[in-house]
Amino acid sequence: MDRITTSYVEAFRTEQSLPAGDTPTTFEHFANYCILADSYDEEFSIADVHTGGGNDLTLDGVAIVVNGVLVSDTDEIAEILKLNGFLDVRFIFVQAKTASGFNGEEIGAFGDGVLEFFAESPVLPMSDRIVQLRELMAWIYDHSVQFKHEKPTCELFLVTTGKWENDQHLVGKIARAEANLRDTGLFGRVVFRPFGASEIQASWTRSKNAASVEFTFANKVTVPDIEGVTESYIGVLPLKEFLRVISDQDGGSIRKHIFYDNVRDFQGNNPVNSEIARSLGTSEGRDRFAVLNNGVTLVARSLRNTGNKFYVSDYQIVNGCQTSHVLYNSREELPDDLGVPFKVIATNDEEVINSIITATNRQTQVTDDDLYALSTFQKQLEAFMSSFDERHRLYYERRSKQYNTASVEKVRIVTKTLEMRAFAAMFLDEPRQAANYYSELKPFVGRTIFNPNHKIEPYYTAAYAYYKLEFFFRNGQIPVSYKPARFHMLMAARYLAAGREMPALTANKIERYAKSINDLLWDDEKAVDLFKEACAVIDGVLSGESLTRESVKPQSFTDAVLQALRAA
């Protein structure tokens, strides 16, 4: 590898807390991360994407993105389908080589491996991970009647440390691989992209920057000066320009993370959204859209404009999540000049931002508890986690990608989603919901999760326990075969470390209870022993059966683990 790529890979290895010494595998992880981060804006575990190893069909990374969500389980896809009412699917494949060049054999083998992945009757041996991903693929095609606009896209990325020279022999090999995949009739679009050193370096650099976009905003007026607001504009944005704001570089995926500060995620084909879609289906509805819709509010922490050209970075859509998704999902049937009511506000004042979120979301049925999850408790949690010394510090991500430009270990970044899942598993005895049915946790925000009366210490403890367990998985101190039960292990760790009698989450005693767990987690040897005990509990419940994603799903498994812990 060249010096620049080597330095980037080493920085990535440090951020991800990967062990030193295995450069080819680290480069596979690096390539997977860069490729996926280019079009997928949420935080994700590199272990969930990596497929390299024996019997891997020459595939070093596979990502299946459904309706903008990286999925790893059929129940998760079913939940997305139930919510949204359709499937919009991308299959992303990566092959990564540290070699300083491209060759036709590797291109051909990569294409053949992807063909074999989709084959109805494959003949090559496959790892358990590939088999599992094929099950997701099969489930998706079994529900192909639910495809929204077109068949899934298939994207192949061959990454090396060399330079792509547009060699016509290799270009022909790529064209043949694309044609073979198109001939299956399974895809609406097939793209095979070679990535050399300069391309992967640029991708890594992009991953370190906040979301940014340039668009033309001609039909606007300037809002008079407002305290705490640098500048603001209101007007109508043509759909073509609006889609630049909410979708990735290729327009192939909606930018899920820019709706992170929105109180509600996309609610699918509910009555309101269905009515918006039906209205857009008529010429009269399209003509009146700009005056009948409440519109979209964008808040940017950085804004530059020259005339009608706007450049915003580190931005969020704080109101208009439902409208944005309906427009994106209907984009093929709508004219480019459809007017979208649009407001742009530039500010770095967190109080102003929270006020905007609260005010704009009051137009919809949003409770005080929903709004609280975006304000005081979140700030307190961020401050509390960052107050520890460097070894014990975590970074709570109130804003999507807020730590992208900081030199911190990725595994120490705690997202809201991760916090909810870890806390529910460890302190609410709900590992099943945390592992498999995350959306079931959302109604509890402000009540049993992020309750303003809760002591904050257990939230740190749950997040740190998850971080520590993931660290042990990555470094081989806890076998990765236990990963399907990781949320059950968090629950078990609490019982084993502090006993089954837990004080109320609002009581002062819970602070000492959480600290007793922290004392074990902060000691590496004791923490490993603690999680090994948790593994033994899982083994006892399984009674010799293999541990799989399916085996941990039933409530009976959680009940059996709880029974074993309470009997100990």
Pairing, β 189-195 against β 309-319: unpaired
- Indicate if the pLDDT at residue 367 is higher than 70: no
Question: In the chain, what are the domain boundaries?
Answer: 3-207, 212-364, 376-567
Output the pLDDT for position 448.
Answer: 87
Phi, psi of 444 (to 5 degrees): -90, 0
**HEC string for 123-189:** CCCCCHHHHHHHHHHHHHHHCHHHECCCCCEEEEEEECCCCCCCCHHHHHHHHHHHHHHHCCCCCCE
Q: What is the pLDDT of residues 461-507, one digit of tens each?
A: 999 999 999 989 888 899 989 999 999 999 999 999 998 899 999 99
CA separation (Å) from 83 to 72, 266, 279?
Answer: 17, 9, 21
Closest CA to 235 of 220, 217, 225, 216: 220
Rounded to two decimals, what is the model's pTM?
0.70
Helical spans, DSSP H, in 208-270: 239-246
When mean pLDDT is compared across 19-33, 209-223, 503-517, the lowest value belongs to 209-223
- Indicate if the pLDDT at residue 263 is higher than 60: no
Output the pLDDT for position 405.
Answer: 61
- Indicate if the pLDDT at residue 107 is higher than 90: yes
When mean pLDDT is compared across 238-242, 277-281, 423-427, 443-447, the lowest value belongs to 443-447
DSSP strands (E only) in 283-428: 296-306, 309-319, 339-346, 395-397, 413-415
Q: Average pLDDT of 455-461?
A: 95
Q: Average pLDDT of 416-434?
A: 90
